[in-house]
Amino acid sequence: MRDVFGVVDAWLDEGRPFALATLVALREAATAPVGTTIAVDDRGHIVGNIGAGCYENEIVEACLSSALDGETRTVDVNLTSDDELMGGTACGAVMEVVVWRPQAAFAETARAIAAGDRDVDFEIRYERADRGACAFTHRIGARDRLLLVGATTLSAEIATMARRLDFRVVVVDPRPAFATRERVPDADEIVLEWPGEYLSRVLDERDCVVVLSHDPKLDLPALRSALDSNAAFVGLLGSRRGQASRRESLRAEGVSEAALARIHGPVGLDIGGITAAETALSILAEIVASRHEREGTPLRARGGAIHPTLLRNH
């Protein structure tokens, strides 16, 4: 959704007529999270997807009207039907969507949401015939930070995928020949510093750390700093033999068994992948699964069976 608000900022700067459609309430199946927003300009250009299936066009038409007349509208979407006319949607969601036209002052908010460096709140006020005056307030959180230790080929693959998953990617490596923009072009930041020292200063409870360097001079200090912090996720790449060796070294330095148990390793869900891209996918899959578990939404509760092999480490 950050791409949507980046476009909103640009359209406000241009003075282009447009409207937003925001999902303000949802019952039953989660077609999209509450707060999901799309933008539609007066020429019919659409940015984003609100997950309304065959009703998406109705929402777009409401946006086109609001882009031209500035009026706020509501669209109620019922996806519980399964008839031939509606194409058999049958996902069971009931959605309330508000279509609204932001004022010029909203550009600052849109810019902050697009940047993702801090939590941002926005409010929509609207009227409904059945409820009268209503207000919807939504917070879009800052991007979680993913810190990758080692500027490797795998780091580059992870960085490319992670940005689409709304992570701010920081690659940490003290080696000038490795820590370059050419090697990891999609990282948000490349830190030319010893990982243990850097991580000890910056980690917080929303951070995820993945150690990828295969060099004990980098791995062990990074792991110590990560385990000394309250980082949300600590992952370690490497074979089971390598995992045992790293754990034994940390144990000899006084790291507790409880702390060692926090290490996800070998990091990544077992999807049978071999290539760097497949390994990156497996690592990010485990991080996303862990994030949803922390937020109280277990994998099976989100719908669809999860094959047992996807829940095991390598």
pLDDT tens digits, one per residue of 159-172: 999 988 999 999 99
pLDDT at 10: 97
3-class DSSP state of 208: strand
pLDDT at 55: 77
Q: Which of 26-35, 243-252, 279-288 is predicted least confidently?
A: 26-35
Can you tell me the mean pLDDT for 146-157?
97
Max mean pLDDT among 44-53, 127-136, 304-313 falls in 127-136
pLDDT level of residue 30 (50, 70, 90 thresholds): low
pLDDT at 47: 95
pLDDT digits (tens, 9 = 90+) for 265-278: 999 999 988 899 99
144-311: which CATH number, 3.40.630.40, 3.40.190.10, 3.40.50.720, 3.40.50.10950?
3.40.50.720
* Alpha carbons 273 and 67: distance in angstroms, whole number: 47
pLDDT at 80: 74
Domain definitions of the chain by residue range = 2-140, 144-311
Can you tell me the mean pLDDT for 91-102?
87
Q: Reply yes or no on whether the pLDDT at 231 is more than 90.
A: yes
Q: Which of 4-8, 86-90, 130-134, 247-251 is predicted least confidently?
A: 86-90
pLDDT digits (tens, 9 = 90+) for 269-313: 999 888 999 999 999 999 999 988 876 554 443 333 333 333 333
* Alpha carbons 279 and 223: distance in angstroms, whole number: 20
Extract the tokens encoding 46: 């659409």
Q: Reply yes or no on whether the pLDDT at 79 is more than 90.
A: no
The DSSP line for 34-100 is TT-EEEEETT--EES----GGGHHHHHHHHHHHHHH---EEEEEE-----TTTT------EEEEEEE
3-state helix, strand, coil in the chain (%, to 5): 35, 25, 40
Cβ–Cβ under 8 Å, residues 97 and 71: no
pLDDT at 300: 41
Can you tell me the mean pLDDT for 196-201?
97
* Alpha carbons 144 and 232: distance in angstroms, whole number: 10
